[in-house]
Amino acid sequence: MTPVPQAEEEKRGALFLDFFLLLRLCGLKVSMSDWFVLLEALDLGLADASLTQFYYLSRSILTKTEADFDKFDLAFAEFFHGVVHHKELPPEVLEWLEQAEALVDFNKEEVDGRTTFDLETLKKMFKERLQEQDERHDTGKYWIGTGGTSVLGHSGYAATGIRVGGEGRNRHALQVAEGRLYRDFRDDSVFNMRQFQVAFRRLRQLSARLDEGPRDELDLDETIEETGNNAGHLKVIYRRPRSNSTKLMLLFDSGGSMWPFATLCNQLFQSVSRSNHFRELKTFYFHNCFYERLFNSAACRHDDSIETEWVLQNCGDEFKVVIVGDASMAPTELLFPGGSLDYEHFNKEPGLAWIRRFVERYEKLVWLNPLPEEEWSMGRGFESIRLIRDELPMYPLTIQGLEAGLKSLVAAR
Q: What percent of the chain has pLDDT over 70?
A: 76
Q: Are 284 and 312 in contact (CB under 8 A)?
A: no
Q: How much is the average pLDDT of 94-114?
A: 81
Instruction: Please tell me the predicted confidence (pLDDT) of residue 61.
Output: 92
For residue range 50-82, what is the model confidence (pLDDT) as tens digits?
Answer: 777 888 888 889 988 767 777 888 888 777 764
Distances (CA, A) of 361 to 24, 123, 313: 42, 63, 9
For residue range 167-221, what is the model confidence (pLDDT) as tens digits?
Answer: 544 445 555 555 555 554 455 555 566 667 666 776 665 444 445 557 767 888 8
CATH code of domain 245-410 = 3.40.50
**Residue positions counted in the chain:** 413
DSSP letters spanning 171-216: --HHHHHHHTTTGGG-SSSPP-HHHHHHHHGGG--EE--TTSS---
pTM for the whole structure: 0.50
d(CA 159, CA 174): 12
d(CA 55, CA 73): 9
Q: Strand, helix or coil at 302? A: helix
For residue range 379-409, what is the model confidence (pLDDT) as tens digits?
Answer: 778 899 999 999 999 999 887 888 888 888 8
Bridge pairing between strands 217-218 and 238-239: antiparallel
Q: Are 108 and 159 in contact (CB under 8 A)?
A: no
The domains of the chain are located at: 6-81, 86-163, 212-244, 245-410
Helix (H) or strand (E) holding 217: strand 217-218
Question: Which residues 6+ apart lie within 8 Å of 15 measured at CB?
Answer: none
Mean pLDDT of the chain, nearest integer: 79
Instruction: Please tell me the predicted confidence (pLDDT) of residue 208.
Output: 45
